[in-house]
Amino acid sequence: MKKAFQIRSELIPPRGAKAVGTHTDGRVIYEMYDVLDPRPTEKVPILDPLTGKEMWKKNQATGEPMYPLMRAVAVRRDKRFVLERDGNGQVAMQEGFEPTDEELAEVQAARQREIFAADLASEAVNRGLNAADVLDLLAGGKKVPANVPGPDTIYPYEKGGGHWILSDGSKFRGTRTAAETAELLLEDDVMPAPQEEDERAAAILEGVEITIPKEEILAAAAEGSNYDPNPLPTGFEE
């Protein structure tokens, strides 16, 4: 399907329009004075031609007046507008194109922030400073701690913006529930090494006199055999 061709009509202002300025986007601003607006924009009461008084809608049952009768009339007013093409060969007068004071203030503030950020970055580079140096200076010479987990951190550790660090140092992005699930799956996948099993068995057997040599139990633990981690001392029976 071919794209519809837009007709670029000439932006010719209507007769009587006067150019008074230029919009921020480059369009010419026009004004027209005491123009008859063809649309009914005002309502006036209907007057009785005999008495000259306002006419009222009456209740058909009781004859009591309910509300005054009104009619819409066109008015004469001043117009301030820019011309805009509609793509179909027509040119329309667009009123209400000017931003409000709040919108102008917000645009100006955003522009000032952009200028400040650019000037700050340029000045920092000229002085040989990086972002960390600037933060330290703003903090009064104190080192600004980085957002990294400490030794007593509970995982998953939140860095902000949906970014997390798991206990194995890997990074994760998602919701808190998803990060906690990933951490649980990570903990389930961690299996103790054979050396850790040997140390655990040795700690259990420490200070306990048994009839089975420790070497045999440690060897069985290394082979994966089932063994009793809490054997009864010598002289005890079940």
Q: pLDDT for 74-127, tens place per residue?
A: 788 888 888 888 777 788 888 888 777 887 888 889 989 999 989 888 888 888
Q: Which residue has the tokens 């009839």?
A: 211
Count: domains in the chain: 4
Gap between the Cα atoms of 83 and 86, Å rounded: 10
DSSP summary character for residue 51 = T
Reported as a single tens digit per residue, the pLDDT across 177-193 is 888 888 888 866 554 55
pLDDT at 52: 86
For residue 128, CA distances in Å to 119, 124, 188 come to 14, 6, 48
Q: Is residue 3 part of a domain?
A: no
Structural domain contains residue 12: no
Listed residues 111, 146, 181: the one ending a domain: 146
Q: Are residues 38 and 86 in the same domain?
A: yes
* Position 13 in a domain: no
In a domain, 59, yes or no: yes
Q: Residue 7 pLDDT > 70, yes or no?
A: no
- Residue 165 counted as domain residue: yes
Identify the H or E element spanning 194. Answer: helix 194-205
Examine the domain organization and report whether 135 and 172 are in the same domain. Answer: no
The domain containing residue 162 runs over which residues?
149-189
Same domain, 26 and 82: yes
Domain-located, residue 11: no
More confident residue, 10 or 215: 10
pLDDT in tens, 142-154: 655 555 666 677 8
Q: Are residues 118 and 166 in the same domain?
A: no
Kindly state whether residues 93 and 103 are assigned to the same domain: no
Residue 35 belongs to a domain: yes
Query: Helix, strand, or coil here: 64?
Result: coil
CA 152 to chain centre: 32
Neighbouring residues of 174: CB distance < 8 A, sequence distance ≥ 6: 162, 164, 182
Q: Is residue 1 part of a domain?
A: no
Cα gap 70→51, rounded to integer Å: 17
- Give the distance, in angstroms, between the CA of residue 6 and the centroid of all CA atoms in the same chain: 35
The Cα–Cα gap between 171 and 157 comes to 10
